[in-house]
Each structure stands twice: as structure tokens, then as C-alpha cells.
Structure 1
Amino acid sequence: MTERKCIVSGDRADPDMLVRLALGPDGEVLPDIRAKAPGRGAWIGVTRADLETALAKGKLRGALARAFKTGELQIPDTLPDLIETGLRKALLDRLGLEAKASMVLTGSEKIEVACRKGIVNLLLHAADAAADGNRKLDQALRVGRQAEGTDLAGIVLPVDRSALSMAMGRDNVVHIAVTDSRAASRLRAALGRLESYLGCATGAPVHGERDSANALGA
């Protein structure tokens, strides 16, 4: 797909990093996270805080009216919540799919071994993971990548262990390692959209993917 223009900021970006809004038959505007809904769509690429400001000041309504070419709109007050919930679900669904395809490792001991072997493309930590556990695996990641002395580390997810465990159908999932490069890319894309919306984006594929080690001289 070609780039899409954010109706709030006017910036253009890859649609994979934006959120599509769709107009329902009853005139209600709802998030279309997978961009599959029929009909005209409007794209947003701002943070939740910026969206809430645009909603409160009426800027979002005006932008949507122009995008959908109608003023008969119903914008739920909960739209920012609905988008965040949808993006979180998309990330958790992707984690579940990768787990079913045996593309991920869980369990600190297994992950540490894989990290030290240098075969981990993406290292993830639950939001409520213990700092000591994170540091231990981050250090193993740097050793395996020959990146000691750098700030290379896993990504702390905006999702806790309870949600991770439920999504992946496993008990007490605190850390996740991905050894397959394509699976890592898919997960990083889903995570990137959520991070961008929450205003805590870590940027391009870094911190946990193998290419970042090269950028750091590993």
C-alpha cells in the first residue's frame, strides 16, 4: 500500500504505522485496526494524548467530516480507549499466533541460553517483569551479539505477564525470545503501532533485533 495521510497532523506514513477509522452504517466512527472494513476510511497517526486533544477541541470531528464527506457522524467519547484496546489485542493476537507456530521461546533459562548463542532476534519483557531478571537476560543478549558495553537490551512491553500468559496459552510468561527473523519483524510492527499511539515508541527495529547489533558495531 502507498502512504496514507493522517487527518489530524497532516503527516504521511506507511499505513502499517497508522490506525484506520471506519464509518459504520449508523454513522458511528470506530477503529478498524486491521484495515479490513469496507467503504471509505480515515487514517490517524498521532499519539493518544494528541487524539484526545483533537477530540476535545472539535478538530477531529472536522477532519472526519472532510474525510468521510459528511457531517452526520457519531464519535464515541471512548474512541481513544477503543483504539488502545484494539492495538493491544492486535499485539497479543500476533504473540499468540507466533507461539502456536513455535516461533517464540519462554522461560528465563531457555532464553538466556539462546541469547548467549546469539540466535535471538527479538527479546521482550513483560511490563511487570523484575528488573534483575531483565538485566540478566539483557546482558546475555549483549554477550551473544558481541555487543558488551553498549545499551543493547530487550524491549519492555506495555503489557503485563497476565495478559501475555493468556494470549500465548502458557503459564507465567514474563520474558519472550524470538529467534525467527520474520516473526520478529511481524511482532515489532504490531508493537510499534501500539508504542507510537501510547507515545512511548522505541522507533525503528532496535533494542531487540539482530540488525541493531550490527548498527552498534557487533
Structure 2
Amino acid sequence: MRNPRNDPLVADSDVVEGAGPERTCVLTRACRPKDQLIRLALSPDGVVAPDVRARAPGRGAWIGVGRAELDEANAKGKLRGALNRAFKSQGVTVPADLGALVETALRQAALDRLGLEARSGTLVNGAERVEQAARQGKVHLLIHAADAGEDGNRRLDQAWRVGGGEPQGVVFPEGRTILSMALGRENVVHCALTDPAAARRVRHAIDRWQAFIDPLAGLERASDGGSRPADLTKNEGNA
């Protein structure tokens, strides 16, 4: 029986959550590791856009709040003021729907990550195959579609515990239709990652998304293997 807390969850090339440089959220001023924040970038014409993969060139600003708080700060003008300071400019344009743009980008990043892992052969789906792998201690991350039945979830959660896994799987923020499309497979209700590094990457992508749409879910769970509330807080006007 494996102990997931003793597994090497990441390879040297993987991002280790909570490691690396920290940044400061422009709204809360809370300092967090970069991988727990969302980077915003500035286009050449001065329009703010989400850069959830943190790859855009130039200066970046970082936010570590959920969507509701971001939308409120945007509506009140607080966000624009903070971003003007972060980008050292008075001409920053903040889209009224920035919260929706960030959510869409995080959602797409999670779906893309799932698709990549599915194509690499590190993901299994189908209740029977998932249950068998879980009982054999081969599952490093168990995922249930949002519309999966409670009985099926409980059965697979129990199988994962028997195999030395965590108390319960992750409930994906979308139903089986979207999950199936992301994986390029039909009628995916439950799936599992059998590679520890792949599980870490997928979990972090899902947790970032969940932490933005629901601050009571997400990032903290990925760091300790439990099911604790998340905190999506991060950086400032540094790239």
C-alpha cells in the first residue's frame, strides 16, 4: 500500500507549489509564491489582460483574490488605481469583464493540461478501470465530473483509500460533457492520473481555477494532500 505523502510528486522540471519567488497581490498586498497568484499583463495599447501561464513579456501585475472580490474592486475603480501603480502608468485600461476573462483563461488552462496528460498516456477513465487502478495503489489523483453520481464517487473514493490514496477525489468544476471534450474521449464521468508528476500538474491547474471561482476550494489542498480551503493570493508590479 503506497503512502501518497511520501511519493515524489514532482520531477525537477515541474513547478513545485509554494516554491520559488514570491509576489504581492496589488489589491490585498498579501505576499504569496508566484504559482499561487494570477499574473496580469499589459498589451501595447495599454489594455490589461490575464496571463495565467505567466509567459507574456514585460512588466506584470499579480492578483491573489477570487472573482467576486476582483469584480467588486474593478467596479469601484480600486483595481485600476492599483494597476496604474503596478504598471507605472496612468493610462491603463481595465476591461469591465476582466474577471470573466481570468476565469475563462484559468478554465482553459486546466482543460488543456488534462488533454495533454490524456494524450501522454498518464490518465485512465471508466469506473472499472479507475477503481482497479485505485485499489492497486496506482492512482495519484482521482477526478469526478461535477455531475457524477454520489454513489459512484463514494465507491471510487473508497477504492482510492484502500490503495493508500487520499480520503476523496477532486470534483471537477464542469460536468461530464466538458470533461469528455477536454480528454478527447466519450462519456468521461471519472478519471485518474497514474503518474505522480502529471497528477501534480493537473491538480494545480484545477486548484487555481477553483480558487478563483470559489475561494473555499483549491490551492491549499494541493500543497498538503488534504481537502482544506484554498487561498489564492499573490504578487505585485514585478514581472
- Checking the alignment, whether the CA contact within 8 Å between 1:154 and 1:207 is kept in structure 2 is no
- Aligned residue number for residue 57 of structure 1: 76
Over the aligned positions, Cα root-mean-square deviation in angstroms equals 1.5
Alignment of 1:83-102 (within 5 A): 83-102=102-121
Query: Aligned to 1:114, what secondary structure does the other structure show?
Result: helix
- 1:74 counterpart residue number: 93
From the superposition, tell whether residues 207 and 174 of structure 1 become closer, same or farther in structure 2 (CA, over 3 Å). farther
| CA–CA distance in structure 1, aligned partners of residues 140 and 35 of structure 2 | 21
Q: Per-residue CA shift, 1:38-78, capped at 9, x if unaligned?
A: 11110001111111111122110110000011111211111
Partner of 2:216: 200
1:163-178 pair list within 5 angstroms: 163-178=178-193
Relative to structure 1, the CA distance from residue 160 to residue 207 in structure 2 (aligned partners, 3 Å threshold; closer, same or farther) is farther
Report what 1:11 is aligned to: 30
The whole-number CA distance in structure 2 between the counterparts of 1:116 and 1:143 is 6
Q: What percent identity do the matched residue pairs reach?
A: 53
Deviation of 1:204 (Å): 2.8
Structure number with greater CO (CA < 8 Å, separation at least 6) is 2
In structure 1, what is the equivalent of residue 168 of structure 2? Answer: 153
CA distance in 2, matches of 1:4, 1:193: 16
Is the Cα contact below 8 Å between 2:75 and 2:96 reproduced in 1? no
Paired residue for 1:190, among 196, 200, 205? 205
Q: Are the counterparts in 1 of residues 145 and 172 from structure 2 also a CA contact under 8 Å?
A: yes
* Aligned pairs, number: 204
Q: TM-score, normalised by structure 1?
A: 0.89
Structure in which a larger fraction of residues adopt helix? 1
| Equivalent residues of 2:176, 2:189 under 8 A apart | yes
Amino acid at match of 2:80: R
Of 128, 144, 148, the match for 1:129 = 148
Normalising to structure 2: TM-score of the pair?
0.82
Which whole-Å deviations, capped at 9, do the CAs of 1:66-119 have from their partners, x for residues lacking one? 001111121111100000000000000000000000001100000011111122
Cα drift, residue 200 of structure 1: 3.4
Q: Which runs of 4+ in 1 moved over 4 A?
A: none
Q: Distance in 1 between matches of 2:100 and 2:175?
A: 18
